[in-house]
Structure 1
Amino acid sequence: MMRRFKKTVWPKDLLQDLLGSYSFGDFKRVPGIQGHHQTREDFGDKEIAGWFLGTKGENINVFSQLITEAIEDIAYGRRSFHPDDPGYVSEEVKHTRGYLNAIQSLKDNFYRMVAFLNEYSVPFFSMRYQGHMNWDVTLPALVGYFTTMLQNQNNVTIQASPATTFFEIFAGDDICNMIGFKRSSLIQPWGHITCDGSVANLEALWSARELRFLPVGVKAALDEEYPQIKDDIKVKFAGSLVKLIDLDAWQLLNLGNDEILDIPPAIAEILKQSDPQKYQSKTIDDIESEVWECLASQYSLNTLGITQFYEDDRFLGGKGIQPPAIIVPSSKHYSWPKAASLLGMGHGLTIPRDIDPQKELEILLRNGLINVWVDEKARMNINKRDQRERYIENLEDVLSLCQTHRKPVLLAVAVMGSTEESAVDPLEDIIRIRNEYRAGKRSSVFDFNIHADAAWGGYLISIIRENFDIQLPDIRTNTISTTPNIFIRDTSKVPLSEYTIKQLQQVRNCDSATVDPHKWGYIPYPAGSLCYRNGKMINLVTFGAPYIQSNDESQALSIGESGVEGSKPGASAAAVYLSHCVIRPSIKGYGKIMQQSLFNAKFFYAYMACMNIENEENRDSFFVMPFNEPPPGPHGESGVEYIKNNIYDNTIDEILDNKEVMGYFKTMGADQNFVDYIFNFYLEKDGHNVPNTDPELLLKLHDKLFEKVYPQPKIKISHYNVMVSRTTFHREDYGDIFMNKLAERLQLADPEKVEAIPCMRSVVMDPWVTETKVGNKPLNFFKEVFIPELRRAVVNSVEETKREAKKLVYEVDNVQYEILKSEPPKLLIAVDGKTSTRGWYESELVPVYDDYPGRKTFEFRALPGGANGSSQVLTPISAKYVLDKWEDIKEVMVIAGTNHKTVKIEH
């Protein structure tokens, strides 16, 4: 029988000796993270130069030396392990044809692979790459990963990873400390390394589901397994201490996180007190393990499944409880719908825009994942509006709906750096609202966990995190060290808005958090992490696999049995561990990299905002609109004007020295280090340039631009001068508030009807790009290289798009007639094959675009009557007329005033 509960390794179980090493049972001299780096002098920003391989491989000698030593040490270890044992690959074997053939094959294929990688791999390390969430990785992470990879450690169990299991313990705990989770004798945080943020998010939702339903199972267990003490188990609810068995199903589903996790140890305590003789030989920990085992194996949703749990009268059968849900912002990562689907909750139906409110309510009550719209800054919309049209417009309405209709909420997710915009949700407000519900201040007690999806932005906490040592027990004092003020007090020179800083400080008050070292932690893939504020959460998702069990409990401790994953590389844990040893996740280490990265991101934002005014020659052919609108200047000037006069030509030091400018600099751009920007172009009208208002042409422009600035299949990397990424905002995802505002700023026609808006995206992780040199001459790579190259790509894309924007351009007697040069144009389109009657359609402007190869869509407004005096119109036309075959159109007559041209269409 598979065990459902098994003790795992906790950081508090490790004891520190006088030399700073740690021990656990028979394991001695475990090298902790704290040590050399914490005590030595801080030498400033230039340390960053020693933390990476370098954009030109400048630190290759250091890297090669360390890797060579790692390989030699591995070989030495093999030779020295029972040195008298025989080997096989002798000098004689090395001269055989088979051996030589194998080595030659290895070399040939290796060279082919390396050549292909160099030609087609995206150069994330380059200053010319400002695209996705990827840049260089730290030198200690590379060395740690490479060295440990040679040992092929598997962190599923300490049996397969007697060294790297401890690296994962240290790394997970250090991330918890970076976040600043509080510690006490009763609550200890716990974190572990995952393959990525998607798996971490899945585990967070899984554990939250088990937590929320556990009290219902406990009530049944008290009746059936522990009837002698069922009246003694009490919990806090609505400010009072009450018997757990007196609470109804809905009340049990709304107990607090810590209150729920305290129930098993409370049962263990009372069991020992109630029958001292029976439990004489057992410790409280032993009894608690048995309680967890009983609850997990017989009374959990994991064991019974959601159908039985909802149908069985012992649990939720007949209790009028709706299916559970997770609440996410519409800027969510795609892993959340995946997680809801995997757990059988369903990712939910898409709610149509014009849906009846009652129908919307019915769908929401069934949905397992509820999207809350974001505001114009892509942050979750929190507060109710005076005139709400949809429940999903704000978090408060969604929560009120769930409370009223008895729909349990497992998690409310706050994104700490969205994938497309690096927006930070108002976590402080989300926590405040949850606490009000928890205290019963909103009609009745309603509780749910809060998860910080800080997969991207988690390491940004280091920019405000005071320096700290790893907080583990000291064998000399048996206490845990704490820091009274975990965040720096003076944030005036931190290039983040005060809003963002406040939200980062609140992550420590969440119940769980996803933080990906392989994103802004500059660690090689795969390395995500999940951290729990209360580490007892892992008991809800711990499974023991029989084939890795051991009779010796001290030798079978594992962290791999807790969570989603089984086998996983110890090399990933080693990479995080060594990087944290060298680069602390505080202002002394990662905070320096974050600082430089943010400054460069804001400079890039400034250069993009001023792109139209810094080059007079091209300023009228297109315009660029930063997604994040520049705030007005402090003296009444426009934001762009203030940026141009005070930031554009200044250095980091000059900005830091000017309090006013630094204050503005902090508020400029996105919440974190993304720069999103949208290009549009001008068209000539009555001798003036007017913005394009057609959303389809806007999409086409960005399609063409993306082909020029992001690697396409079969094209060598060397053909690209700059690289940026792209995203598209869809109304069905982001909602009306966000889309209407964005479309209005772009000056698109009928903003409320725009369904999709393209956007270019640059994630700036490079700490050096604005402070480089060519020889002894300073070089701002963004201003002098990257922006001009990007400008050229935009100009070319605009010209190509404008040519197509002239709609239908056909040659008649070697003369081109360009429709958009006539105002207003009219077209007469002869259609064959759609009806039995031939004739002309008369219409206003006709945009043409491909749905897919071989099919064209024409959008136009039909005018009354037909052409040539005919009142007959072949088919009524509303907004869109689709011809399955382009060949159906035989000719087009272009009318401009008294002039007209009839164009025969040759297919």
Structure 2
Amino acid sequence: MKDNISYKDMDLSAYFIGPKGENADIYKELTNRLIDEHVGYRQNFNSGDKDSISESEKTSKEFSNALVNMKEVMHELSSKMRTGSIPWITGGRYMGHMDAETLMPAILAYNFAILWNGNGVAWQGSPASTLMEEEVGKDLAHFNGYGKNGWGYVATDGTIANVSALWMIRNVASIPFALKEVCPELVEGKNEWELQNMSIEECLDLLDASGDKKNEVKAATARSGKNLNKLGKWLVPSTMHYSWQKALDITGIGEDNLVVLPVDNHYRVDIDKLEEIIQENIDNKIPILGVVAVVGSTEEGAIDRVDKFIELREKFRKQGVDFAIHVDAAYGGYGRALYIDEDNEFIPFDQLEDTFKEYGIFTEGNQFLKRNVYEAYKAIAKSDSVTIDPHKVGYIPYDAGGLTIADTRMKDSLTYYAPYAFQEGVAVPASIGQFTLEGSKAAGSAAAVWVVNKILPLNIAGYGRLVARSLYASRKFHDLFDGQEFEVNGKTIVSQAVYDPDYNMIDWVYREKGNNSLKDLNELTQAFYDYTSSTKGGELYNLDFLTSASTFSSDIYGDAPVPFIKSLGIDESEYAKEGKLEILRASTMSPWVYDEESFSYWAPRITEAIQGRLELISKAEGII
């Protein structure tokens, strides 16, 4: 606990503007104060300088014309945003994508920071925010369990973070081949298979051992375009974000080296099949470059068994085989805060229930205690890199993705220098841009994350309590939707949850009771989405319930949906014929459904809205 501040005694509601603008006065007060402080800085910097805009100029007709023009365009902007934006700021009616009301201090910090620094690329252009970003990167690395050698930064988004992770791992894995060319004595006696199966730590130790030839070695790595075909396969779950295909393309590993891992009926990687796939490649002398575990898949919110991935790697290391493990926790990463105490230690599992009660988390017997989820989060500390996005469940404005690595030396495999921004060997208090894929980027993102981490620490007292709100909502709405019945046009319509949630994502379907046609189920579920969006539902602003949809197709998910389909009394041959299961998908990120009182308010209103949508579908579509 820092400076004797009791974070758990702070009301999280104070940190949002509020669905109805309940804290608007606070927002305006702080905004005005920050603007005044900024303007004061401008006025006091070389205060004797002449004003660039005179009072007489401000009274001119031309100046007035410009002001009128600006005001009219800003009014037009406001009109467009008010009529065409997704109302995700609502208390409980928006259950769609990973969007929710962002934290007020993050908005304040972002807007304030861009008054000072428009570009967060280098120390020369953004000394204040670069220091903040360096601190944030260390905080996120520490949060993921990485020790003093960990490093991180605020990436533009999860896609850039994923590409950068593969970029680093690719370069590090190619170091042994570069050494064979530049410093062959350091890898003397090792055959190609041994060079392909060195751990990240071994590769980096050898790079350090190359001494004054280090830059020459780095130039001969995969950066040169050499030996890309020797690095092996990249194994990614079928629940992967589409950024992984981009990453393989961009980094030259190639989509032909992408191996899609099958998932089980809970949409986690099937560990037995993962082991079989790795073993099959080893038997054929095909190396594995890396394996990706997803913590919070974007369609299902599923959390892969990171602990089992780690166990498998230890098992294969005994065969002389090694590979990197990257955790794509862009969506689910902040869930780890639930299990971190205020001394930044991982809480023992048998103490969680009492700890949750102490912090007011998951009360009313709604304990979110899954041992497999807990172990997955705990094992992240043994991975090599993690994508974690503050702009998702960190409730930070876009664009604020994040990447952390276990060994800070990994980033050195990426270094490129521009004399006007970075100079090799020149010491500055902080430097980030030469290690990142991005060049120019908004300094406001780093400032926003820095401020919020000071207000909501990355542990159970801070972010843990906030994330718990969304998990609580997920649990409660899952239980409400699973088996909920509606009478429409003389027929009973039933909603069914597809699986028990690992995180704050719910997937469910609608079907007519007694109707065992998967085709009809898919049509009704798709129609429900159409009528809870602007597709057919009318003006976005007037919708009383909004959600999103997705498709579990057989070419991506294999037979994973079959147990659920059969549980509905639908023959699996229907899935073979249709080739897909249409689902509704809700990320319950709103921070306003977090206890029995708030849920009791929203549940009947959402139920009423669903009833109305189904009745509208019945009249308009004739499928009920």
| Deviations 1:366-387, CA, capped at 9 Å, x for gaps | x21110111111011111xxxx
For 1:541 and 1:113, the matched residues in 2 are separated by: 41
The answer to which structure has the higher helix fraction is 2
Question: What does 1:15-54 align with in structure 2 at a 5 Å threshold?
Answer: 36=3, 39-44=4-9, 47-54=11-18
For structure 1, the 5+ residue unaligned runs are 1-33, 224-229, 234-243, 269-289, 311-320, 348-366, 384-393, 469-482, 629-668, 683-689, 806-907
1-structure distance, mates of 2:616, 2:160: 42
Partners of 1:69 and 1:772 in 2: CA distance: 37
Contact 2:509 2:584 in 1 (8 A): yes
Which of 254, 259, 262 is 1:370 aligned to? 259
CA contact (8 A) 1:327 1:413 kept: yes
Q: How far, CA to CA, are the matches of 1:487 and 1:544 in structure 2?
A: 45
Equivalent-residue separation in structure 2 for 1:169 and 1:496 (angstroms): 34
Partners of 1:518 and 1:524 within 8 A in 2: yes
Greater share of residues in strand? 1
Identity of aligned residues (%): 27
1:748 positional shift: 3.5
Q: CA distance change for structure 1 residues 123 and 332 in 2, over 3 Å: closer, same or farther?
A: same
Q: How do residues 616-695 of structure 1 correspond to structure 2 at under 5 angstroms?
A: 620-628=491-499, 669-682=500-513, 690-695=514-519
Structure-2 change in CA distance of 1:619 and 1:598 (3 Å): farther
Deviations for 1:367-413, whole angstroms, at most 9, x for unmatched residues?
21110111111011111xxxxxxxxxx21121112212222222100
Match of 2:531 in 1: 708
Secondary structure at 2:236's aligned position in 1?
strand
Deviation at 1:705, TM superposition (A): 1.3
Per the TM alignment, residue 712 of structure 1 is displaced from its structure 2 partner at its CA by 3.6
Residues 292/35 of structure 1: CA separation in 2 closer, same or farther (3 Å cut): farther
1:337 aligned residue? 245
Question: Which residue does 2:617 correspond to in 1?
Answer: 797
SS at match of 1:491: helix
* TM-score normalised by the chain length of structure 2: 0.93
Q: Among residues 328, 331, 337, which one is paired with 2:236 in the alignment?
A: 328
Task: Provide the rounded CA distance (Å) in 2 between the counterparts of 1:539 and 1:487.
Answer: 35
1:484 deviation in Å? Answer: 6.1
With over 3 angstroms needed to count, the CA separation of the structure-2 counterparts of 1:739 and 1:322, relative to structure 1, is farther
1:603 match: secondary structure = helix
Residue 896 of structure 1: aligned partner: none
Q: Distance in 1 between matches of 2:197 and 2:231?
A: 14
> Which structure: larger Rg?
1
- 3-state SS of paired residue (2:117): coil
1:457 equivalent in structure 2 = 332
Q: 2:101 aligns with which of 116, 136, 141?
A: 136
How far does the alpha carbon of each residue in 1:803-860 deviate from its partner, in whole angstroms, 9 at most, with x for none? Answer: 358xxxxxxxxxxxxxxxxxxxxxxxxxxxxxxxxxxxxxxxxxxxxxxxxxxxxxxx
Q: CA deviation at 1:784?
A: 1.8
Write out aligned runs for 1:3-82 (5 A).
Answer: 36=3, 39-44=4-9, 47-82=11-46
Following superposition, the deviation at residue 563 of structure 1 comes to 2.1
**Matched residue of 2:433: which SS?**
coil
Once the two structures are TM-superposed, the CA of residue 786 in structure 1 deviates from its matched residue by 1.1
2:120 counterpart residue number: 155
- Partner residue of 1:466 out of 333, 341, 346: 341
Corresponding position of 2:602 = 782
Asked if 2 retains the 8 angstrom alpha-carbon contact of 1:322 and 1:406, the reply is no
* CA distance in structure 2 between the partners assigned to 1:512 and 1:530 by the alignment: 7
Cα distance in 2 for partners of 1:772, 1:86 equals: 61
| 1:620, distance to aligned residue in structure 2 (A) | 4.8
User: Which residue in 1 is equivalent to 2:194?
Assistant: 251
Structure 1 stretches of at least 4 aligned residues deviating more than 4 Å after TM superposition: 483-489, 615-620, 770-773, 798-801
Residues 317-366 of structure 1: CA distance to partner in whole angstroms, max 9, x if unpaired? Answer: xxxx756221011011111111111122332xxxxxxxxxxxxxxxxxxx
Q: Tell me the equivalent position of 1:516.
A: 389
Aligned counterparts, 1:483-498, within 5 A: 490-492=351-353, 493=356, 495-498=368-371
Which amino acid in 1 is paired with 2:236? V
For 1:212 and 1:551, the matched residues in 2 are separated by: 24
Q: Say if 1:621 and 1:681, in contact at 8 Å, map to a contact too.
A: yes
Deviation for aligned residue 1:437:
0.8
- Tell me, what secondary structure is at the counterpart of 1:136? coil
Aligned partner of 1:416 in structure 2 is: 295
Aligned residues of 2:16 and 2:103 also touching (Cα < 8 A): yes
- Specify the alignment match of 2:362 in structure 1: none
Q: 1:399: which partner in 2?
A: 278
* Aligned-residue offset at 1:557: 5.1
Letter in 2 for 1:213: S
Q: Distance in 1 between matches of 2:490 and 2:601?
A: 21
Q: Specify whether residues 578 and 162 from structure 1 end up closer, same or farther in structure 2 by C-alpha distance, changes over 3 A only.
A: same
The residue number in structure 2 matching 1:765 is: 589
- Whether the 8 Å contact between 1:119 and 1:718 is mirrored in structure 2 is yes
Structure 1 residues 379 and 714: CA distance shift in structure 2, 3 A: closer
The CA deviation at 1:714 is: 11
Instruction: Provide closer, same or farther for how the CA distance between residues 517 and 713 of structure 1 changes in structure 2, counting only shifts above 3 A.
Output: farther
Q: Letter of the aligned partner of 1:207 in structure 2?
A: M
Report the Cα offset of residue 771 of structure 1. Answer: 4.6
The 2-side partners of 1:566 and 1:406 are apart by 39
Q: Which residue of 1 aligns with 2:146?
A: 181
Q: How does 1:185-200 map to 2 (within 5 A)?
A: 188-200=149-161
Distance in 2, matches of 1:804 and 1:49, equals 43
Q: Distance in 2 between matches of 1:130 and 1:401?
A: 42
**Equivalent pair of 1:496/1:672 in contact (CA under 8 Å):** no
Letter in 1 for 2:199: G
**Is residue 219 of structure 1 aligned with residue 180 of structure 2?**
yes
Residues 324 and 408, structure 1, Cα contact 8 Å, conserved in 2: yes
Q: What letter corresponds to residue 72 of structure 2 in structure 1?
A: D
- Write the deviation string for residues 746-790 of structure 1: whole angstroms up to 9, x where unpaired: 4445233331111011111223326597xxxx7723322112211
SS of residue matched to 2:78: helix
Determine the C-alpha separation between the residues in 2 that align with 1:728 and 1:91. 61
Question: For residues 408 and 545 of structure 1, do their structure 2 counterparts lie closer, same or farther at Cα, with a shift above 3 Å needed?
Answer: farther
Aligned to 1:169: 134
**Structure 1 position 565, deviation (Å):** 0.8
Contact 1:156–1:559 (8 Å) recurs in 2 = yes
Partner of 1:587: 460
Are residues 1:109 and 2:73 paired?
yes
DSSP-derived class of the 1:547 partner: coil
Report the CA distance shift for 1:466/1:579 in structure 2 as closer, same or farther (over 3 A). same
Deviation at 1:516, TM superposition (A): 0.3
Alignment partners' CA distance in 1, 2:453 and 2:80: 33
For the Cα contact (< 8 Å) 2:233–2:289, is it kept in 1? yes
**Does the aligned pair in 2 maintain the 1:771–1:781 contact within 8 Å?**
no
Measured in 2, the distance between the counterparts of 1:98 and 1:603 equals 59
- Name the residue aligned to 1:295: 217
Cα drift, residue 508 of structure 1: 0.8
Q: Is the 8 A contact 1:195 1:568 kept in 2?
A: yes
Match of 2:361 in 1: none
